[in-house]
Chains A and B, each alone.
Chain A
Amino acid sequence: MSETVYVSKVNSSTETILVVDDDTDILALLEMSLISDGFNVITASDGMEGLERAKTDLPDLILLDVMMPYMDGLQVIEKLKSDSDTSTIPIMWITAKSQTEDKLKGLETGGDDYITKPFDLREVSARINAVLGRTRPVKYINPLISAMGEGFSEEGVAELGSHLQAAAEIQMKLLPDKPPVYPGFEFATMFRSSTSVSGDLYDFIPLSETRIGVVLGDVKGHGIPAALLMVMIQTASRLLCNETDSPSTVLKRINTLLFHNTDLEQFATMVYGILELDTGLFTYANGGHCPPIHFISGKDKTDTLNHNRSKVELLETGGMLIGAFDIATFSSDTSQLSPGDVLILYTDGVTETEGVKPNDFYGEDRLIECLSRNLDQSAETLCEVLQSDLLDFSGTTQLKDDRAVVVIKRTEVN
């Protein structure tokens, strides 16, 4: 019997660094070194291209050479700092040792730190981490500042930012640090937050040796209020999910709890399901959440002509959104995962991803199409494929809404 168990979590906290240098050797060297340090790297070979990439990709840090054709590094810094989209991105520049003037000018124009040539790659990495450590809280707080307008003092912003960062870290620790490992199944997850803290959640709750609870939900709104409610729901579901109660009973209890303990207009949508690891039976209840999609691999060995055809089943049974109505009732349903089948649970941050054109959204159809084409891949690869398709569609790594995805694949067992 061959069993492949493959687990992963697409790293949500990977920071992106834009490297701008006209010297392709140095560019390649920096790229390699930064990737091995765990960063995402994008590159540009001159100042103009660097500016464009900065605006479209909004990296977490920009590393650029001062000496470049067309537009020198200092001009690039000046332009980046004067554009509200890019003004808060930390910038480091590379200069020749003797050019004291460049160092000063760079700092005057708003650059954050510099590296002198020739440089030691370990020093580059250490300095980048130091700059990111200083600027990370600012990145987290920015969406809030723009939402609240003026009236923040710089110290207040920095303090709030560090609190938020701490909150985000606490929240990330509440989520499973890696998907579960069980023979015959692959689990993979993707989790990204539009601000620092998130209103989305997912969880895996072991109920017995052969049953695992799967929770995925989305709390109204985003930011701190949503995150607090998310933590409440997660705690409630860990306490309320057990081996004997059906998913609908559990949703009803969470609904009652939320209804009595939050404002009327606070609500969440969530799916709770119990996966039976020995049979692949998934018993679930959907509380007003976008329906999980079950891809039926349909690999019928007698049907060699159409062996790749797949159908989908939407897991819609359940009831209303959670926490807004005391009277809400829920029902459970089942879905049978056969070998080769894939089940995806996701939040609407995925399907409501806005395209390059306004009012063009990713949508359920494209999600189905994207995954249908890749059903023979592992759960982890499916997550990666989806993430890259979302990036292609939206053209930006900036999120307007939080995103959580759980992919479960029942592997082929011989």
Chain B
Amino acid sequence: MFDSTTFAENKAIVHVNGKIIGNAVTQFRDEIEQQLQDGNNNLIIDLTDVPLLDSTALGVIIITLQVLQRSGGKLVLLNPQKAVSSVLEVTRLTSILEVYESEEAARNAFS
């Protein structure tokens, strides 16, 4: 359900495919931790193919955001779909997260 690519030094994009709910959240967290271990502290999470995420997954995004910020890195979200977008808006995470609609714009956020 994950397909991650390191596209520049310390920079990676994680494509997620499917709902991030229940057990998938643990895998999602593992995948992100792997990226951090690999030294990628600039992360794009591609949400194009994520129809839904639950509050625990939101917790993973929040902790990732904080960990990356502390290490001088950055978290960027790419193309959240309707349901995910509305969760980000209601919780006001949009005020603190960078969200882009195209991969190019997301990559440019790091330069």
User: Which positions in A face B, CB cutoff 8 Å?
Assistant: 147, 218, 220-221, 263-267, 269, 288-291, 318-321, 324-325, 359, 361
Interface centre among A147, A289, A324, A361 (most CB of B within 10 A): A324
User: Which positions in B face A, CB cutoff 8 Å?
Assistant: 22, 51-52, 54-56, 58-60, 62-63, 66, 83, 90-93, 95-96
A111: min CB distance to chain B, Å: 33
Chain A: interface secondary structure?
loop
Pairwise interchain contact A288-B90, C-beta atoms closer than 8 A:
yes
B64: min CB distance to chain A, Å: 9
Pairwise interchain contact B96-A265, C-beta atoms closer than 8 A:
no
Chain B: interface secondary structure?
helix
B6: min CB distance to chain A, Å: 25
Pairwise interchain contact B93-A220, C-beta atoms closer than 8 A:
no
Pairwise interchain contact B60-A320, C-beta atoms closer than 8 A:
no
Q: Closest chain B residue to A291 by CB distance?
A: B90
With a cutoff of 8 Å between Cβ atoms, the chain B residues found around residue A318 in the complex are 92
- Given A266-B59, A288-B93, A321-B92, 13 additional A-B pairs, CB 8 A: A220-B59, A221-B55, A221-B56, A264-B63, A264-B66, A265-B59, A288-B91, A320-B92, A320-B95, A324-B59, A325-B66, A359-B51, A359-B52
With a cutoff of 8 Å between Cβ atoms, the chain A residues found around residue B59 in the complex are 220-221, 265-267, 324
With a cutoff of 8 Å between Cβ atoms, the chain A residues found around residue B63 in the complex are 263-265
Q: What CA separation (Å) do A290 and B56 show in the bound complex?
A: 17
Pairwise interchain contact B58-A220, C-beta atoms closer than 8 A:
yes
Pairwise interchain contact B93-A321, C-beta atoms closer than 8 A:
yes
Q: What CA separation (Å) do A361 and B87 show in the bound complex?
A: 14
Q: What CA separation (Å) do A173 and B96 show in the bound complex?
A: 37
Pairwise interchain contact A288-B92, C-beta atoms closer than 8 A:
yes
A256: min CB distance to chain B, Å: 16
Interface centre among B22, B63, B90, B93 (most CB of A within 10 A): B90
Q: What CA separation (Å) do A391 and B54 show in the bound complex?
A: 22
Interface centre among B55, B83, B93, B96 (most CB of A within 10 A): B55
With a cutoff of 8 Å between Cβ atoms, the chain B residues found around residue A220 in the complex are 55-56, 58-59
Q: What CA separation (Å) do A325 and B97 show in the bound complex?
A: 12
5 example contacts (A-B, Cβ-Cβ < 8 A) are as follows A218-B55, A221-B55, A221-B56, A265-B63, A325-B66
Q: Closest chain B residue to A222 by CB distance?
A: B55
Q: What CA separation (Å) do A147 and B93 show in the bound complex?
A: 29
Q: Which of A147, A218, A265, A319 contacts B62 (CB 8 A)?
A: A265
Q: What CA separation (Å) do A288 and B89 show in the bound complex?
A: 8
With a cutoff of 8 Å between Cβ atoms, the chain A residues found around residue B90 in the complex are 269, 288-291
A327: min CB distance to chain B, Å: 8
With a cutoff of 8 Å between Cβ atoms, the chain B residues found around residue A289 in the complex are 90
In the complex where A264-B62, A264-B66 touch, is A319 in contact with B56 (Cβ < 8 A)?
A: no
Q: What CA separation (Å) do A221 and B60 show in the bound complex?
A: 12
Pairwise interchain contact B91-A321, C-beta atoms closer than 8 A:
yes
Pairwise interchain contact A325-B96, C-beta atoms closer than 8 A:
yes
Q: What CA separation (Å) do A359 and B52 show in the bound complex?
A: 9
With a cutoff of 8 Å between Cβ atoms, the chain A residues found around residue B51 in the complex are 359
Interface centre among A266, A267, A289, A319 (most CB of B within 10 A): A267
Q: Which of A218, A266, A290, A320 contacts B93 (CB 8 A)?
A: A320
Instruction: Please give me the 7 A-B residue pairs with the lowest Cβ-Cβ distance, nearest first.
Output: A265-B59, A288-B91, A320-B92, A265-B63, A220-B55, A321-B91, A324-B62
Q: What CA separation (Å) do A291 and B91 show in the bound complex?
A: 10
Q: What CA separation (Å) do A266 and B59 show in the bound complex?
A: 7
Q: What CA separation (Å) do A290 and B59 show in the bound complex?
A: 17
With a cutoff of 8 Å between Cβ atoms, the chain B residues found around residue A266 in the complex are 59
Q: What CA separation (Å) do A266 and B63 show in the bound complex?
A: 9
With a cutoff of 8 Å between Cβ atoms, the chain A residues found around residue B91 in the complex are 269, 288, 320-321
Q: What CA separation (Å) do A109 and B63 show in the bound complex?
A: 50
A402: min CB distance to chain B, Å: 11
With a cutoff of 8 Å between Cβ atoms, the chain A residues found around residue B60 in the complex are 265
Interface centre among A288, A318, A361 (most CB of B within 10 A): A288
With a cutoff of 8 Å between Cβ atoms, the chain B residues found around residue A288 in the complex are 90-93
Interface centre among B60, B91, B92 (most CB of A within 10 A): B92
A194: min CB distance to chain B, Å: 12
